[in-house]
Amino acid sequence: MIKLFSDTKIAELLGLLNASKKIAIVTHVNPDGDAIGSVIGWSNFLRTIGFHSVIIVPNHFPDFLKWINGTENIYVGFNQKDTCARLLREADLLFCLDFNKLSRLDAMGEYIMTLDIKKVLIDHHIGVEEKDFNLTFSKTPISSTCEIVYRIIWQITKKKHVSPQIAEALYAGIMTDTGAFTHSCSSELFRIVADLMECGIDREKIHSAVYNSFSVNRMRLMGYCITKMEVLPEYHTAYIMLTKEELERFEFEPGDTEGFVNIPLSINGIILSVLFTESKEGYIKLSLRSVGDFSVDEMARKYFNGGGHRNASGGKSFVSLNETVMFFKKILGELKIGSEIS
């Protein structure tokens, strides 16, 4: 196993742990598989080495992740605001997983900024705001935060194997953040996956729990998205837009649109795919995916108040859905997507 971090940094982490009395773990708004898998895996590992922790997420996470052992103990800020505020206020060490800046937590991030608390980041996104954290474990080329968590565990314990509960959570996060092992996969990652499988996880069960447990409404919404998809072949681009009314028609639940943005990338010649979703909060959420060298991270940062990875990013727009899509189509000509193959 190749070490990601120096022994000095690992020693600093252990020093913070040994000096702490109450530990909290948080992840970003709209938690996905990597977010939930990493916080569960890390919390379970801390327990094995003698540290109790609480997990707090800003809002609800998808039902297809709730099979993961330990999710029943997660505190949700959206409907447990006072309890979550108290737990954060009482903590003296905070682990921040799968996000690069506290603003990714929305109101919870603003609250954390007011607290006198040591903060440790474990993440793989571009553009870490170092000032937000006391100690950072960040590597952008790595597939997922779950992979980084596994590597830190390996460096701390000098063992390859972890408990089945930890392995199951980390495998689920790695699987979802790599699109079921279709991107961001290194030879080292597959060695880690082999280690996790040797811990006794049921790989087929995990895959089925994540990808074969959707509701009828979710499947019908996906079919509707395909009929709504707009293809702009001259820009090697396709996009889908969903209004609040359309989401309500299909009884939308958190996580129902997971993976929809990848659908247009199955079309020959499409390099950029975007899903525009009108949120209840009044802004437009953008999910951006690309193939090859085109960076949706740069696009999201420059135009849509967001960022993430080269080929997978997110953003927000604070004008109407139609205005957002009009602006998006306007800038496509400037981006010269696929110019090398035109």
Mean pLDDT of 58-72: 94
- Residue 180 forms part of a structural domain: yes
| Rounded (10°) angle between helices 7-18 and 145-157 | 90
- Residue 239 forms part of a structural domain: yes
| Rounded (10°) angle between helices 164-177 and 145-157 | 150
Mean pLDDT of 307-319: 92
pLDDT band at residue 296 using 50, 70 and 90 as cut-offs:
very high
- C-alpha to C-alpha distance for 183 and 174, rounded to whole angstroms: 11
Instruction: Reduce the secondary structure of the chain to three states and give it as a string.
Output: CCCCCCHHHHHHHHHHHHCCCCEEEEECCCCCHHHHHHHHHHHHHHHHCCCCEEEEECCCCCHHHCCCCCHHHCEECCCCHHHHHHHHHHCCEEEEECCCCHHHHCHHHHHHHCCCCEEEEEECCCCCCHHHCCEEEECCCCCCHHHHHHHHHHHHHCCCCCCHHHHHHHHHHHHHHCCCCCCCCCHHHHHHHHHHHHCCCCHHHHHHHHHCCCCHHHHHHHHHHHHHCEEEHHHCEEEEEECHHHHHHCCCCCCCCCCHHHHHHHCCCCCEEEEEEECCCCCEEEEEEECCCCCHHHHHHHHCCCEECCCEEEEEECCCHHHHHHHHHHHHHHHCCCCCCC
Q: What is the pLDDT of residue 308?
A: 87
pLDDT above 70 for 204: yes
pLDDT above 80 for 230: yes
Mean pLDDT of 20-31: 96
Asked if residue 100 and residue 18 are part of one domain, the reply reads yes
What CATH number does the domain containing 141 carry?
3.90.1640.10
Asked if residue 250 and residue 220 are part of one domain, the reply reads yes
Asked if residue 240 and residue 202 are part of one domain, the reply reads no
- C-alpha to C-alpha distance for 228 and 208, rounded to whole angstroms: 28
| CA separation, residue 317 to residues 22, 109, 305, 321 (Å) | 37, 20, 7, 8
pLDDT above 80 for 314: yes
Asked if residue 223 and residue 178 are part of one domain, the reply reads no
- Residue 318 forms part of a structural domain: yes
Asked which of 192, 210, 228 is the last residue of a domain, the reply is 210
- Residue 27 forms part of a structural domain: yes
Q: 182: buried, middle or exposed (CB in 10 Å: 19+, 13-18, 0-12)?
A: exposed
pLDDT above 60 for 342: no
Q: What is the mean pLDDT of the chain?
A: 94
Mean pLDDT of 289-305: 94
pLDDT above 90 for 149: yes
- Residue 329 forms part of a structural domain: yes
196 in Cβ contact with 165 (< 8 Å): no
Nearest alpha-carbon partner for 188 in 144, 125, 127: 144
Q: What is the pLDDT of residue 158?
A: 81
Asked if residue 307 and residue 222 are part of one domain, the reply reads yes
Nearest alpha-carbon partner for 153 in 185, 199, 111: 199
pLDDT band at residue 168 using 50, 70 and 90 as cut-offs:
very high
- Residue 2 forms part of a structural domain: no
What CATH number does the domain containing 299 carry?
3.10.310.30
Asked which of 156, 180, 210 is the last residue of a domain, the reply is 210
Asked if residue 224 and residue 105 are part of one domain, the reply reads no
Q: What is the pLDDT of residue 2?
A: 85
Domain that residue 230 falls in = 216-335
59 in Cβ contact with 29 (< 8 Å): yes
- Residue 297 forms part of a structural domain: yes
- Residue 340 forms part of a structural domain: no
pLDDT digits (tens, 9 = 90+) for 259-286: 999 999 999 999 999 999 999 888 999 9
Asked if residue 276 and residue 256 are part of one domain, the reply reads yes
Asked if residue 269 and residue 154 are part of one domain, the reply reads no
> Number of structural domains, the chain?
2
Mean pLDDT of 240-258: 95
Asked if residue 258 and residue 142 are part of one domain, the reply reads no
Asked if residue 255 and residue 160 are part of one domain, the reply reads no
Asked which of 210, 240, 265 is the last residue of a domain, the reply is 210
Asked if residue 265 and residue 169 are part of one domain, the reply reads no
Q: What is the pLDDT of residue 85?
A: 97
Q: What is the pLDDT of residue 339?
A: 64
Asked if residue 183 and residue 106 are part of one domain, the reply reads yes
- C-alpha to C-alpha distance for 121 and 129, rounded to whole angstroms: 10
59 in Cβ contact with 84 (< 8 Å): no
- C-alpha to C-alpha distance for 242 and 247, rounded to whole angstroms: 7
